[in-house]
Amino acid sequence: MNLKEKLVSSFLAFENKGVLDLDSNVHSIRSKAIQNFEKEGFPSKKDEEWKYTSLNSLLKHDFSLFPKTEKPIGFKNVKEFLINEIESYTLIFIDGVFSSFLSDTTHDDCDVCILSSALTRPKYKMVIDNYFNTIAKNNNSLTELNTAFSVEGAFINIPKNTIVPKPIQILNFSTGSEKEALLQPRNLVVVGENSHVQIIERHQNLSKNTVLTNSVTEIFVHKRAIVDYYKIQNDTKDSSLIDSTFVTQKQQSVASVNTYSFGGKLTRNNLEFYHEGEHITSNLNGISILNNKQHVDNHTLVNHKYPNCESHELYKGIYADKSTGVFNGKVIVQQEAQKTNAFQQNNNILIDDGATINAKPQLEIFADDVKCSHGCTIGQLDESALFYMQSRGIPKKEAKALLLFAFGNDVVEKIKIPQLKSRITKLIAQNLGVNLGFEL
Amino acid sequence: MNKFTEDDLKKELETKEYEYGFYTNIEADKFPVGLNEEVVIAISKKKNEPAWMTEWRLEAFKVWKEMKEPDWANVNYEKPKFQDISYYSAPVQKPKLDSLDQVDPELLKTFEKLGISIDEQKRLSNVAVDIVVDSVSVATTFKKTLNEKGIIFMPISEAIQEHPELVKKYLGTIVPKTDNFYAALNSAVFSDGSFCYIPKGVTCPMELSTYFRINEGGTGQFERTLVIADKGSYVSYLEGCTAPARDENQLHAAVVELIALDDAEIKYSTVQNWFPGDAEGKGGVYNFVTKRGLCEKNAKISWTQVETGSAVTWKYPSCVLKGDNSVGEFYSIAVTNNHQQADTGTKMIHLGNNTKSTIISKGVSAGHSQNSYRGLVQIGARAKNARNFSQCDSLLMGNKCGAHTFPYIEAKNKTAQIEHEATTSKIGEDQLFYCNQRGIDTEKAIALIVNGFSKEVLNKLPMEFAVEAQKLLEISLEGSVG
């Protein structure tokens, strides 16, 4: 039985487990999603959107869909993956199951809790009906798969005029209780008018076993709200991640999604922005630093539908050894979206022979009064700069690392949480294999 | 003088008739519609082709039957019905003529309307013209001068008879008959085209040029061009097209193969002005072309194209940079108006060391048209120090048209240096204002700005073509901006 068949046949068992309300809307959403998935199956390289990323090596595994949580996980096990220097709300999931013991949730001014309770409690019915699976639908089959099995994840509901005092950290751990596990977290973030929230998300494998995470996040940003979302991807070499994030923005809102990809066997990021009002700003930033045989695929879409909006996209990549990077950035400017400013920049450095970059910066423009540009470069470090530093006593390795660090710095500079910034800096230094000798 | 407003411009543009839309009444020798093995054999027989050629065509036809029409391009059109096309049409003009006096005066008039006027060109422009009207060459000039240099420039059908060893060696090596749907179709049914061979170390003394015209209603034209530049030679080749206005869609599926051996240089320029259909998007030519060149060591291939016509264009002149230090260039202006659709661009495949490529693509869209750039820059794992620079600029006029870019960049070597940039803009109000302020009326200002926008590409055209290209740009665009 291949993975697809297994997933489809497990669906019934999953729905009948008793924890789910079979009369709800969500049930019909799930049933429809599994039907769509069954029809479409996993994407192959024949799909234009998956031209450069093959899932074949992943689909060979016999993933267990509902991993058992046996191993006790204490705070000391997960501490290093949290940003401890700041106070924050934390949502910690162990093998897909919420750990109330490790987490710090709230219902005071806003709801920072879990999807499973939101799905069942009548109090949240309105929110779920209004938002759940409204932008993620009709997308690719992997999103459908997540929807079919969506039961747990972060649920963040910020009412009007609220500034969430602390950042929210969402961490998904897998303990390796099963040899091969498939996790499908589902996050829903609703940010009301004039509100502000910062969210940090991380997926981490604590063992050496194989894990595939198929995560879907939906973010709704209402009028004048500000959302900063940070994704840290620094997983083990046996972990793969398919991360799909959908953002809907109302007028004058600002949404930023920052993706830091440093590790994992295969990482695929789908990031899509949809505009529903004027004067919206969307920021997409990303940096990928890869080595060994890692593969990172960043797929972004910004769909400009209304006038006077802006989007800024900046993705940098440093690829060593036999790693592969893919960048596919699509910007659509619809006919009505006059006075749009859309900028897209993608810079890449290949360090070793054998490393590959496939870039496809794509513009589709139907409005005439717009400023749109994209730039894409592939190059090497400046030999003269390297020589300059060496002649001043900086060893070649450090000099290289410094230059690479400077190359990626534009993206790091966008981080608004200082503690997170220094953490990312450290991760970059660690991945470049060098002690920079300074902290930011 | 009244101010020329945006509405006026739009109106003028929409009502502008295709200036070269006329139809010559020449009796034509034509095959019944439909395509099957017999037709392929018949075409081959008609041309007195040797057995290997017939075999080659049949193989291509076999492959084509298995193939599906591609639909990945960013264009929408009604697919041609391949069984409703007549695959061979030749003007009844036999035997071959020695001088122009013997040419059908009606045909000569057609040329005059097109501005080709053979005798004048003979005298003034130093261009050898191999005029192809509906698939058979009827006049070849300057053959003598070329002969002295050892340059072979003749219809490919004749080349198959006279230089079978060259044709056999190179035909289908760059664009294999299995390459794609339209290349396979072309390989099976190509009626004629041009063949050009420049011997070692020879610099071709004049611009070689061919004019294609689709003349007979309901016939597809399947041209096959093969240009071989032997070691150390140079040739500049021009290709220009105009077609009469017709209501049904005409299919044009050409294949062009360029081979630049060591140290050779080929410059291939195209001005394409097939009938684009009327203001409602009715009629017009489908232009599905496969063009590809191979560069050996130190060789250079330069594609320059000005695309103003065709209802649907699907064209990617490409360079395979196989030899070390080879250079590929692509300069293109694509102008679309009314309901035209263009999906065009290039492929630069870097295989050798120190290979360089430059891509400059300018797209201008007006009316309801869609203009796409689709390009691939590929650096092979063994191609050291490859260098590419790409620039795609789009100019949009009005908000009913679209400009799209689909660049694919694939690098497998760390020494590669690739830059790609693309911008989309409209003609700035401040630019227009600046011109107006200095007494240049809006229409002229637009012409000025568009001309400046396309200058980089126009500059690359040979003199004789630059004039015609500029004229074409004016016809297609003047007054379309507001």
Percent of chain B, pLDDT > 70? 73
Q: Which residues of B touch A361 (CB under 8 A)?
A: 405, 407, 420, 422
Lowest-pLDDT range of A253-257, B131-135, B303-307: B131-135
A271 falls within a domain:
no
Residue of A365, A373, A377, A404 for testing the chain B interface, max B β-carbons within 10 Å? A365
B1 falls within a domain:
no
Q: Is A352 on the interface with B (CB under 8 A)?
A: yes
Across the interface, do A365 and B420 touch by the CB < 8 Å criterion?
no
A136 falls within a domain:
yes
What is the structure's pLDDT at B121?
41
Lowest-pLDDT range of A312-326, B270-284, B461-475: B461-475
How far A28 CA sits from the closest chain B CA (Å)? 34
Q: Which residues of A touch B414 (CB under 8 A)?
A: 350-353, 355, 380
How far B414 CA sits from the closest chain A CA (Å)? 5
- Compute the residue count for chain A: 440
Q: Is A372 on the interface with B (CB under 8 A)?
A: yes
Furthest-apart CA pair in chain A: how many Å? 73
Q: Are residues A118 and A226 in the same domain?
A: yes
B482 falls within a domain:
no
In degrees and rounded to multiples of 5, residue B442 shows phi and psi of: -55, -45
What is the structure's pLDDT at B215?
45
Minimum CA–CA partner of B72 in chain A: A48
Lowest-pLDDT range of A173-187, B46-60, B223-237, B247-261: B247-261
> Which of these, B311, B312, B406, B390, lies nearest to B356 by C-alpha position?
B390
What is the structure's pLDDT at B327?
93
What is the structure's pLDDT at A285?
93
Calpha distance B209→B131 (Å, rounded) = 8
Residues 374-403 of A with CB under 8 A from B: 374-380
Q: Are residues A138 and A228 in the same domain?
A: yes
Q: Are residues A393 and A375 in the same domain?
A: no
pLDDT-derived band of residue B90, with 50, 70 and 90 as boundaries? low
Q: Which residues of B touch A331 (CB under 8 A)?
A: none
Furthest-apart CA pair in chain B: how many Å? 69
What is the structure's pLDDT at B106?
56
Q: Is B403 on the interface with A (CB under 8 A)?
A: yes
Percent of chain A, pLDDT > 70? 95
CA distances from A211 to A67, A230, A304, B363 (A): 10, 21, 36, 47
Q: Are residues A389 and A368 in the same domain?
A: no
Helix, strand, coil tally for chain B in percent (to 5): 25, 35, 40
Q: How far apart are the first and last CA of chain A?
A: 51
Q: Are residues A245 and A284 in the same domain?
A: no
Give me the amino acid identity at B317. P
Q: Are residues A261 and A133 in the same domain?
A: yes
Across the interface, do A369 and B405 touch by the CB < 8 Å criterion?
no
Option in B404, B422, B426 nearest A373 (CB): B422
Q: Are residues A344 and A252 in the same domain?
A: no
Residue of B343, B393, B409, B446 for testing the chain A interface, max A β-carbons within 10 Å? B409
Cis peptide before B95 (omega within 30 of 0): yes
Residues B199-251 have pLDDT tens digits of 999 998 877 776 544 444 444 578 888 999 999 999 988 876 554 445 455 77
Across the interface, do A379 and B418 touch by the CB < 8 Å criterion?
yes
Give the range of the structural domain holding residue A418, as residue numbers without chain letter: 382-440
Q: Which residues of A touch B400 (CB under 8 A)?
A: 335
Q: Is A361 on the interface with B (CB under 8 A)?
A: yes
What is the structure's pLDDT at A252?
93
What is the structure's pLDDT at B97?
45
**Which of A266, A285, A317 delimits the end of a domain?**
A266
Q: Which residue has the higher pLDDT, B78 or B362?
A: B362
Minimum CA–CA partner of B412 in chain A: A356
**pTM of this structure:** 0.80
Lowest-pLDDT range of A219-233, A379-393, B465-479: B465-479
A272 falls within a domain:
no
CA atoms within 13 A on the CB side of A343: 8
Q: Which residues of A touch B399 (CB under 8 A)?
A: 335, 338, 366-369
Lowest-pLDDT range of A311-320, B28-37, B344-353: B28-37
Give Cα B48 distance to the centre of its chain: 28
DSSP code, position B184? H
3-state secondary structure of B472: helix
- Tell me the two tokens of residue B396: 């949009």
Q: Are A319 and A348 in contact (CB under 8 A)?
A: yes
Q: Which residue has the higher pLDDT, B476 or B52?
A: B52
A251 falls within a domain:
yes
CA distances from B392 to A55, A90, A412 (A): 33, 46, 30
Residues A279-338 have pLDDT tens digits of 999 999 999 988 888 899 999 999 999 999 999 999 999 988 889 999 998 999 988 888
Calpha distance A165→A345 (Å, rounded) = 33
Calpha distance A89→A418 (Å, rounded) = 17
Mean pLDDT comparison of A1-15, A178-192, B63-77, highest-scoring range: A178-192
Q: How many domains does chain B have?
A: 1
Between chain A and chain B, how many beta carbons pairs sit less than 8 Å apart? Answer: 114
Calpha distance A88→A83 (Å, rounded) = 8
**Which of A235, A266, A297 delimits the end of a domain?**
A266
Calpha distance B335→B476 (Å, rounded) = 7
The predicted model gives A370-379 an average pLDDT of 87
**Which of A380, A410, A431 delimits the end of a domain?**
A380
Calpha distance B344→A352 (Å, rounded) = 33
pLDDT at residue B47 is higher than 50 = yes
Q: Which residue has the higher pLDDT, A156 or B427?
A: A156
Q: How many CB atoms lie within 10 A of CB A12?
A: 10
What is the structure's pLDDT at B53?
87
> Which of these, A78, A112, A108, A113, lies nearest to A94 by C-alpha position?
A78
Residues A205-237 have pLDDT tens digits of 888 888 889 999 999 999 999 999 999 988 888
How far A336 CA sits from the closest chain B CA (Å)? 8
Q: Are residues A231 and A251 in the same domain?
A: yes
What is the structure's pLDDT at B127?
47
Across the interface, do A376 and B396 touch by the CB < 8 Å criterion?
no
CA distances from B341 to A48, B248, B300, B372 (A): 21, 17, 30, 8
> Which of these, B290, B249, B144, B261, lies nearest to B201 by C-alpha position?
B261
pLDDT at residue A113 is higher than 80 = yes
Q: How many domains does chain A have?
A: 3
B142 Rama class: left (phi>0) / alpha (psi -120 to 50) / beta: left
- Tell me the two tokens of residue B10: 């739009």
Spell out the SS3 assignment of chain A: CCHHHHHHHHHHHHHCCCCCCCCCHHHHHHHHHHHHHHHHCCCCCCCHHHCCCCCHHHHCCCCECCCCCCCCCCHHHHHHHCCCCCCCEEEEEECCEECCCCCECECCCCEEEEHHHHHHCHHHHHHHHHHCCCCCCCCCHHHHHHHHCCCCCEEEEECCCCECCCCEEEEEEECCCCCEEEECCEEEEEECCCCEEEEEEEEEECCCCEEEEEEEEEEEECCCCEEEEEEEECCCCCEEEEEEEEEEEECCCEEEEEEEECCCCEEEEEEEEEEECCCCEEEEEEEEEECCCCEEEEEEEEEECCCCCEEEEEEEEEECCCCEEEEEEEEEECCCCCCCEEEEEEEEEECCCCCEEEEEEEEEECCCCCEEEEEEEEECCCHHHHHHHHHCCCCHHHHHHHHHHHHHHHHHCCCCCHHHHHHHHHHHHHHCCCCCCCCC
What is the structure's pLDDT at B287?
85
Give the range of the structural domain holding residue B351, as residue numbers without chain letter: 6-477
Residues 6+ apart with CB under 8 A from A383: none
Residues 410-429 of B with CB under 8 A from A: 410-426
Q: Which residues of A touch B419 (CB under 8 A)?
A: 375-377, 379
Q: Are residues A48 and A185 in the same domain?
A: yes
Q: Are residues A36 and A127 in the same domain?
A: yes
What is the structure's pLDDT at B281?
66
Residues B278-325 have pLDDT tens digits of 767 677 788 888 999 999 999 999 998 888 877 888 889 999 999 999
Residues A123-161 have pLDDT tens digits of 888 888 888 888 876 668 888 888 888 888 888 999 999
pLDDT-derived band of residue B93, with 50, 70 and 90 as boundaries? very low
Q: Are residues A386 and A376 in the same domain?
A: no
Beta strand pairing status for B152-155 and B194-198? antiparallel
pLDDT at residue A405 is higher than 70 = yes
Q: Are B406 and B374 in contact (CB under 8 A)?
A: yes
> Which of these, B74, B118, B78, B77, lies nearest to B100 by C-alpha position?
B118
Q: How far apart are the first and last CA of chain B?
A: 18
Residues A57-82 have pLDDT tens digits of 888 888 887 777 666 777 777 787 88
Q: Are residues A208 and A282 in the same domain?
A: no
Residues 6+ apart with CB under 8 A from B219: B30, B85, B86, B87, B88, B89, B134, B135, B250
pLDDT at residue A121 is higher than 60 = yes
What is the structure's pLDDT at B464?
64
